[in-house]
Structure 1
Amino acid sequence: MSVFPRIAVVGAGPAGLLLACRLHRAGRPFTLFEADAAADARAQGGMLDLHAETGQAALRSAGLFEDFQRWARYEDQGTRLFDAEGRLLLEDDGQAGDRPEIDRGHLRDLLLAALPGRVHWGHALQQASLVDEEVELRFGNGDVQRFDLVVGADGAWSRLRALLTDVRPLHAGISLYELSLADIDRAHPQLSALVGHGTLIAKRGQYTLFAQRNADAHVRVYASLPQVLGEGELAPSLSRADLLQHFADWHPDLRRLIAEAGDAVRPWPIYRLPPEHRWVHRPTVTLIGDAAHLMPPAGEGANLALRDAADLADALCSHDWHAAVRAHEQTMMARAEVAAASAQRLLTANSLAYLLEVLGGDTADVGDVACAVPSR
């Protein structure tokens, strides 16, 4: 094996791109593969709130924090929590916070701008195998290459994970259904006022509505439903009318988040890895992000993925990179275990009082809170 390894990074999501930025900045050789045919091949999803100690710290380490500041929306850090009857239980304008929002597409754009010409697009990994002291990668386009160290940043259904563990993602017990409200300030002013600047959450039992303000007056709505799915099973397709039936007795203003959205409904089954998941270290393969510690989307996953990448870059650029990568894995997994257990509790909790407590609200006599939804 070479003194400094021939490195492949598989996956150009936030973790893979941040790692590549750090290696590029340090002058370390690497090859970055991505299954998408091009940077604009598909939409990148909704927004992220980047935390100071994880996501923001990772961007600082790559010299990208000023670029992030140009996209960051500090004004959209607010949170509103309602019950199904439309009573406002908590309102935080977020102005004192330091978790600014950024759309996933904008985050990807700023990371890609730091890596001109470095992404090998159209490389969907089909098979990874250990050959002597190397990892052989076979891609769907026929390309076959070998490396000393392969970093799996290839997401929930990582093909590299199988080289380290037999553990597979499990359904978390819920599925989200995503809808969109475009140009909400002009086309839906009452709903714009309801959502405010940030995230609206409304909950009853196992059913939850989320509405998140993205850039350009675009709001993404997520209806969370309890479901039981098998490994890799897709969530059933539902229409807006189907979703409205699930929320039939909710406050009319909350139901309008579904009723006035566009016709497209994207099912998103939520999968997770066991929080206590570990693997035995191999010197030829490691994982970061969702490939390493898939968890429900509760604000931590992408932040930890970025921190994973920054910490792994530090390890790879150290004198004894073998030992440093091993130590990094232990730190990463311990950190993720706490976050994953918390995310699972938060997203699947049946208790509105529990959610209110987590968000810092007053749980005293939740059932008697009498503040109504803002007037239509």
Structure 2
Amino acid sequence: MPFQPRIAIVGGGPSGLALGLLLQQRGIRPTVYELRSKPTTQELAKPSGMLDLHEESGLRVMRECGLWDGFQAAIGDCSEACRVLNPQGIVLHTDEGETASRPEIARNALANLLVKNVPLDCVKWNHKVIAARDARNATTGATEIMLDLGANGTATYDFVVGADGAWSRVRKLLTDVKPFYSGAQYVMATMRNASTNFPHLVELTGSGMLCALGGGNGIITHRGPQDSIRVHAVVSTPHENWARAAGLEGKTAAEVKTTLLGDDKLFAKWAPALQEVLATACDEETKDNPGSLADILPLYMLPIGSRWEHRTGATLVGDAAHLMTPWAGEGVNLALWDSLDLAHTLGGVPEVEDAAAWQAALDPRMREHEEAMLVRAQEKAEESSKNKDTLLSENGGQAMVDMFRMFQDLVTADGPPKGQ
């Protein structure tokens, strides 16, 4: 019988679950470790952030996973329409997504799609990986990766994939590089049943995304499940511990609202309609989740272009490999692309008799895979960093419109000659 490698995937986010499903389709049975409990149907039905999937990456993975029909059924809460405003509430740009080709899906809906389709015995929920260590098996000569699972003991594998996000434990096997604070933070809140309860805010925000940008800050909204409007208040600050410094720790979203709308450097001077969107979302968030603390998220990134020396028996995907800021919309798309390419790489190893031979056959393929992954990640990270500086500038709204126009000019220039 051909050798069957022992493969572990650390992390049950989109990249880890997609990789688990893709490997199962290729006759490889990995084990996915996820520190969270298995999400319930009720949890996955809640409004969440929206993700736009791209043709060359996220959408391609949906097709190869056999999830295309389920994906199509899960979208539609948020259109591809876009509105851009300045802090004074002046509309600088509006479109209905006529030329867009990046459908939006709720983060929870994507998770639900993957959780439902990954084989039940593939994922070990409530399993936290404390550390990963490698050693050479003196008998076989193969490299073995031992996972410290804390109260759940230890487990040994021939190959481990770190899909464990920004603060990856598996990354420590490969490199000492750590994420650093990017200079911006999100404050997130949601209002549900918006068409019924807040029709004037639906009219303002539209059916898709609204971006109000200026003064280094922003109010970004997306429509979502349960007829919701998901609001991200973007705050530029050099202070990584801004929430603590501003006295926001331990406060609800409704309480945080006072600081956001009362500070001239934040949103105190913004148009009343935009202030109302933010205030309403904060109040509704606290009403729907009484006692819950405000969702304040500092945004981190890995140094652009960071990489590691290839190491037998382990690799990284997604944020564990190339954490970047969200300003290019590439995070989950790159993560899914990484997993797809890795599944092809692992599935392409020829049949061998033992772990040492399998690793020897895999290593050159992994070097090629990692190089391609890191090259494209560097390109997207540079784009994201540049976009951040542009969008979170003094006149971010106008800068965003200028970006749209430049892109449209490029598309027009690359189109067919007139008359063809």
TM-score by length of 2: 0.81
Return the alpha-carbon distance in structure 2 between the equivalents of residues 338 and 61 of structure 1.
25
What is residue 204 of structure 1 aligned with on the other side? 214
Secondary structure at the counterpart of residue 271 of structure 1: strand
What is residue 77 of structure 1 aligned with on the other side? 80
What is residue 314 of structure 2 aligned with on the other side? 285
Aligned residues: 360
Aligned CA distance change for structure 1 residues 361 and 189 (closer, same or farther; 3 Å) = farther
Amino acid of the structure 2 residue aligned with 1:223: A
What is residue 371 of structure 1 aligned with on the other side? none
What is residue 273 of structure 2 aligned with on the other side? 253
Return the alpha-carbon distance in structure 1 between the equivalents of residues 107 and 407 of structure 2.
32
List structure 1 runs of 4+ shifted beyond 4 angstroms: 41-44
What is residue 240 of structure 1 aligned with on the other side? 257
Deviations 1:268-303 (A, max 9, x none): 100001121111111211000000110112311001
Return the alpha-carbon distance in structure 2 between the equivalents of residues 9 and 289 of structure 1.
12
- 2:335 is aligned with 1:305: yes
Return the alpha-carbon distance in structure 2 between the equivalents of residues 73 and 283 of structure 1.
43
Query: How far does residue 249 in structure 1 lie from its aligned partner after superposition?
Result: 0.7
Query: How far does residue 29 in structure 1 lie from its aligned partner after superposition?
Result: 2.1
Query: How far does residue 84 in structure 1 lie from its aligned partner after superposition?
Result: 0.5
Q: Is the 8 A contact 1:89 1:361 kept in 2?
A: no
- 2:37 is aligned with 1:37: yes
Match of 1:128 among 112, 119, 132: 132
Q: Is the 8 A contact 1:74 1:95 kept in 2?
A: no
Return the alpha-carbon distance in structure 2 between the equivalents of residues 208 and 248 of structure 1.
12
Return the alpha-carbon distance in structure 1 between the equivalents of residues 309 and 68 of structure 2.
34
Query: How far does residue 234 in structure 1 lie from its aligned partner after superposition?
Result: 7.5
Return the alpha-carbon distance in structure 2 between the equivalents of residues 50 and 74 of structure 1.
14
Gaps of 5+ in 2: 137-142, 287-293, 350-360, 409-420
Q: Give the CA RMSD over aligned residues.
A: 2.1
Return the alpha-carbon distance in structure 1 between the equivalents of residues 380 and 4 of structure 2.
32
Aligned CA distance change for structure 1 residues 188 and 204 (closer, same or farther; 3 Å) = same
Match of 1:347 among 388, 404, 410: 388
Aligned CA distance change for structure 1 residues 176 and 75 (closer, same or farther; 3 Å) = closer
Query: How far does residue 322 in structure 1 lie from its aligned partner after superposition?
Result: 2.5
Deviations 1:170-217 (A, max 9, x none): 100001100111111111111111111111001112111101111221
Q: Is the 8 A contact 2:78 2:224 kept in 1?
A: no
Gaps of 5+ in 1: 364-376
- 2:373 is aligned with 1:338: no
Q: Is the 8 A contact 1:156 1:169 kept in 2?
A: yes
Return the alpha-carbon distance in structure 1 between the equivalents of residues 326 and 304 of structure 2.
14
Return the alpha-carbon distance in structure 2 between the equivalents of residues 324 and 67 of structure 1.
32
What is residue 50 of structure 2 aligned with on the other side? 47
Identity percentage over the alignment?
Answer: 35
Return the alpha-carbon distance in structure 2 between the equivalents of residues 158 and 53 of structure 1.
26
